[in-house]
Amino acid sequence: MGMTKLSVTVEDELAEEMRERAGSRGISAFVNQAVRHELQMGRLGALLGDLEKEIGPPDEAMVAQALASLDRLDRQRRKTTKRQSQRR
Q: What is the pLDDT of residues 38-73, one digit of tens each?
A: 999 999 999 999 999 999 999 999 999 999 999 999
> How far does Cα 77 stand from its chain's mean position?
14
Q: Is residue 27 a contact partner of residue 19, using CB atoms and an 8 Å limit?
A: yes
- With 0.85 as the threshold, say if the pTM is over it: no
CA Rg value for the chain: 18
Report which of residues 87 and 61 the model is more confident about.
61
The domain spans of the chain are 9-56, 58-88
Is the predicted pLDDT of residue 88 greater than 80, yes or no? no
Torsion of CA 20, 24, 30, 9, to 10 degrees: 60
- Would you tell me how many other CB atoms lie within 10 Å of the CB of residue 18? 14
